[in-house]
Amino acid sequence: MIAPNDAATSAATIELNHAARWYGNVVAVNDISFSLGPGVTGLLGPNGAGKTTLLHMLAGFLAPSAGDVKVLGRRPHLDPAVYRQIGLVPEREAVYPFMTGRDYVRFNARLQGLPNADEAARQAISAVGLEDAMDRAVGTYSKGMRQRVKVAGALVHDPQVLLLDEPFNGMDPRQRLAMMELLGRMADAGKTILFSSHILEEVERVGSEILVIVAGRLAASGDFRAIRALMTDRPHTVTIRSSDDRRLATALMGDPAVFAVELRSDSLAVRTAHLSVLRLLLAGASRKAGVRLLEVIPADESLESVFEYLVRR
């Protein structure tokens, strides 16, 4: 559950209160406040938005330059004992290449002080479905396998909070689905899981709650469907070239799906909130007006433009 305001909820396991982090003159995370409880939350944002900085602040690797960051009521950058309850999957691929998968997960279990590191490692490896490769050196693993062994190392001590930085990178669709199911099961067991991604569809499939971060700021937070609706219903600009732009503009003006029409020297710019409606409308209106459509170019549909729109709101 996300509480995107200053007040932390009683069930909050992760709390940020006006947290900021800058490097010299560069602000990586800018005045972010939210609190999270158990469940899967996606941290969505374009590359360079500050997702990794935010996760590293939560993991205690970066002290906040301003504000406060708490995990389970403790400040992780000052308190290594909190790592008993935190599992971290970093974005960087590096895993000790000379270790086997089993060695690596057992090493993590040992450092967590688990009494039966062998058994804990076996269970974690089984959870990520890597039993067949566990006695091979990690250096021989594919990118997807390396991601999975990192996840096994992070959850070997059954942490309350799991932080994952771009965990689906390099996984094939089947591995991705299995990992999504695993995160879902952990969330059902009451764990707080925060994972970052720059891919909308990944977040859509796993997290019902999302945080959208753009240029270091929290652009949106809450239920995925509501934010998705905001993203799809945003105004789009479509550029059209036709045999008679002026006549086509007249034909489109009357429709409620069209917000604005701008006649340019060699094209027509149409603004709408409903791309699909506009497509149908264009076909009918051009036929009725006897205008031939030469080119229809939707404006920038990149994720970055979606994020920019959310920031402006």
Partner 1 sequence: MTAIPHSTSVSLIPDITLVTLRQLLGRRRAVLLLLLSAVPVLIALLYRAAGADKVDGFAGGVLEVLCLNLILPIIAVLFGTAAFGAEIEDGTIVYLMAKPVARWAIVAAKLLAAISLTVILAAGSVVISSAIAIVHLEDRGLSAMEVYTTAMVVGSICYVALFVALSLFTQRALLIGFGYVLIWEGALSNLLPGIANLSIRQYAIGAGQIFYDLAPERARLEPEAAVPLAVIVVVAATVLATRRLMRLEISGETD
Q: Which residue has the tokens 């939560």?
A: 58
**Nearer Cβ to partner 1 (149/248):** 149
**E strand or H helix that includes residue 287:** helix 275-289
Which tokens hold the place of 288?
């009725």
Q: What is the smallest separation between the CB atom of 147 and partner 1, expressed in angstroms?
A: 14
Distance CA 8, CA 61 (A): 22
Residues that bind partner 1 (CB under 8 A): 23, 28, 47-53, 55-56, 59-63, 74, 78-84, 86, 88, 90-99, 107-108, 110-113, 153, 165
Q: What is the smallest separation between the CB atom of 216 and partner 1, expressed in angstroms?
A: 9
DSSP state of 85: G
Distance CA 2, CA 33 (A): 10
Q: What is the smallest separation between the CB atom of 74 and partner 1, expressed in angstroms?
A: 7
**Nearer Cβ to partner 1 (138/240):** 138
Kindly write down the DSSP assignment for every residue of 10-30, as one continuous string: TT-SEEEEEEEEEETTEEEEE
**Nearer Cβ to partner 1 (93/172):** 93
Sign of the torsion angle spanned by Cα atoms 163, 193, 154, 196: negative
**Nearer Cβ to partner 1 (84/271):** 84
Rg of the chain, C-alpha, whole Å:
24
Dihedral angle over CA of 139, 176, 187, 205, nearest 10: 150
**Nearer Cβ to partner 1 (86/134):** 86
Q: What is the smallest separation between the CB atom of 279 and partner 1, expressed in angstroms?
A: 36
Q: What is the smallest separation between the CB atom of 128 and partner 1, expressed in angstroms?
A: 16
